[in-house]
Structure formats: C-alpha cells, structure tokens
C-alpha cells in the first residue's frame, strides 16, 4: 500500500492509528497501558515519534501477545512491511521494516513502579498511563539517558503549564524511592553538558535555531536543574 515518496511521519502516524483502532476489537488488549511520547502527546503534542510504547497492566500475557501478532501482522501486510519480533525478559518489541530499515516499533515492557492507576483511552479496552506515571518515566529517562528529546519533553510539559518543576521531581522521586535528588540533578546536568559539548552553539548555523537552543539549555540549567548562576567577575 505504501508508495515511494510517502512522508515517513505520516506513515508512522498511520501505522499507530491502524494498530490502535484494530486493537479495540480485542478484549485481550485490556492488558496494554500506553506510555511514552504517544501517551504524553495526549497532553502536549509537539513532535513526532516512530514508536508506540506500552506497559503490561498486570504481567506479560500470551493471549495479548497473540492478539498483537495478529493485529500488527495484518497492518504490516496492508502497508507492504515486514514484521519481526524481539523478546528479552518481560519485554517484547514488534518491529515493522521496509527493505531492512525499521520504520516503526511497538514495545511492551513490565512496569516496576506505578504511581496512579491507568486511565481509559479512546482505543478502549487499551488503557493509557496517568500523567504522573508518564512524566515520572520521562524524568527517569532524563536522569538515566539524558537524550535531547528527554529534556525537551519535560520542558514542554512545564512551559505549557501541564505540570510544575516540583511535580516533575516529585513524580521522579515516586519512581525512585530513597534515591538522592541532588545526585539525580547532577547526573542530568552531566547529560546536558555532554549535549552542549557534542553540539556547541557556534556549530548551529541558523540564527533562530541557535537562539532557541541557547534559551532551552539555559532554562534547563536554571529552572529544571536549579543550577545557580556563576558570579560575574
């Protein structure tokens, strides 16, 4: 079905929509809780993603696995894509590829800490994680991985007034009981400094993009990570 020249972003959106719409016909899909950026996009939709991330509601279910294989396999066939499956522990990833290039994945993992019960979604019986759990997981990613999108996702949440800085760190603490907050902030700062070293501002040619990056980095440092300004000499 996919034609040469199709927009890959539109393809990804179509795949996610097709899969979720198809899952509404399966009671077994009630074991799935949507997370990741797709869940965040219900509150702040500002970028694209090539993945659907979900959690097992109570634990890995073979009936739900069979349901996913059927639904994703049928969608793959309609879009002339190949389907592969990888598993490690309680995690499974269904991956769609075109000419050996992955274009989409649906990953389901086991959640270790749930802050609040999941909510109904527009694709019932599939559920969607709470804002607290979504942002808490995003904060985990920010501290542990520190990819640019991790920082930007949290910045969007705060700048749009969806949650405060204090709430974001509170939800992170709920996911990491007993872990020192100052150590988490220091680790996140190291990730930010790594980003700045890999892509210094003077390497960004477009003035608007350079100004936006400078503003975002300063906001992350001062507002999110609470790094004091250096005294002027």
pLDDT, average across residues 51-71:
94
- Token output for 106: 């649906």
pLDDT, average across residues 154-178:
97
pLDDT, average across residues 216-230:
90
Radius of gyration (C-alpha) of the chain in whole angstroms: 19
For residue 233, pLDDT over 60 is answered with: no
Mean pLDDT taken over the chain? 92
Residue 100: per-residue pLDDT: 87
Alpha helices in the chain (DSSP H): 8-23, 36-40, 62-78, 131-144, 148-159, 165-175, 181-198, 207-219
Alpha-carbon torsion, ordered 50, 155, 112, 91, to 10 deg: 10
Side by side, which strands form the sheet with 91-98?
82-88, 91-98, 101-110, 51-56, 32-35, 127-128, 119-120
Residue 208: per-residue pLDDT: 96
For residue 45, pLDDT over 90 is answered with: no
Q: Is 74 helix (H, G, I), strand (E, B) or coil?
A: helix
For residue 7, pLDDT over 60 is answered with: no
* Residue 230 binned pLDDT confidence (cut-offs 50, 70, 90): low
pLDDT, average across residues 66-83:
96
For residue 201, pLDDT over 70 is answered with: yes
Residue 160: per-residue pLDDT: 96
83 in Cβ contact with 71 (< 8 Å) = no
29 in Cβ contact with 9 (< 8 Å) = no
For residue 1, pLDDT over 80 is answered with: no
Residue 221: per-residue pLDDT: 97
For the chain, domain boundaries:
1-129, 130-233
- For residue 144, the number of C-alpha atoms closer than 13 Å in the C-beta half-sphere is 10
The sign of the dihedral angle between the CA atoms of 26, 60, 122, 81 is negative
* Residue 2 binned pLDDT confidence (cut-offs 50, 70, 90): very low
| Per-residue exposure over 65-74, b if at least 16 CB sit within 10 Å of its own CB, e if not | bebbeebbee
Residue 6: per-residue pLDDT: 53
In CATH terms, the superfamily for domain 1-129 is JHP933, nucleotidyltransferase-like core domain (3.10.450.620)
* Residue 9 binned pLDDT confidence (cut-offs 50, 70, 90): low
For residue 4, pLDDT over 60 is answered with: no
Residue 8: per-residue pLDDT: 58
Residue 110: per-residue pLDDT: 94
Q: Tens of pLDDT along 109-138?
A: 999 899 999 999 999 999 999 999 999 999
pLDDT, average across residues 95-99:
94
227 in Cβ contact with 189 (< 8 Å) = yes
User: What span, in angstroms and rounded, lies between the C-alpha atoms of 122 and 217?
Assistant: 35
């Amino acid at each position: 079905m996919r034609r040469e020249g199709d927009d890959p972003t539109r393809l990804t959106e179509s795949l996610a929509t097709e899969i979720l719409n198809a899952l509404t016909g399966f009671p077994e899909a009630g074991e799935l809780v949507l997370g990741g950026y797709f869940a965040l996009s219900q509150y702040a939709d500002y970028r694209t993603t090539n993945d659907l991330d979900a959690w097992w509601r109570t634990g890995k279910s073979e009936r739900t696995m069979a349901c996913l294989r059927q639904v994703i396999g049928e969608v793959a066939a309609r879009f002339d894509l190949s389907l592969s499956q990888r598993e490690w522990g309680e995690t499974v990833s269904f991956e769609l590829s075109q000419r050996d290039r992955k274009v989409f994945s649906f990953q389901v993992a086991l959640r270790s800490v749930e802050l609040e019960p999941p909510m109904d979604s527009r694709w019932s019986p599939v559920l969607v994680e709470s804002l607290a759990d979504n942002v808490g997981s995003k904060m985990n990613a920010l501290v542990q991985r520190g990819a640019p999108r991790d920082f930007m996702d949290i910045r969007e949440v705060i700048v749009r007034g969806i949650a405060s800085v204090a709430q974001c760190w509170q939800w992170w603490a709920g996911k990491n009981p007993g872990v020192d907050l100052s150590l988490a902030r220091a680790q996140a700062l190291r990730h930010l400094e790594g980003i700045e070293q890999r892509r210094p501002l003077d390497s960004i040619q477009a003035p608007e993009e350079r100004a936006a990056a400078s503003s975002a980095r300063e906001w992350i440092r001062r507002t999110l990570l609470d790094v004091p300004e250096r005294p002027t000499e």
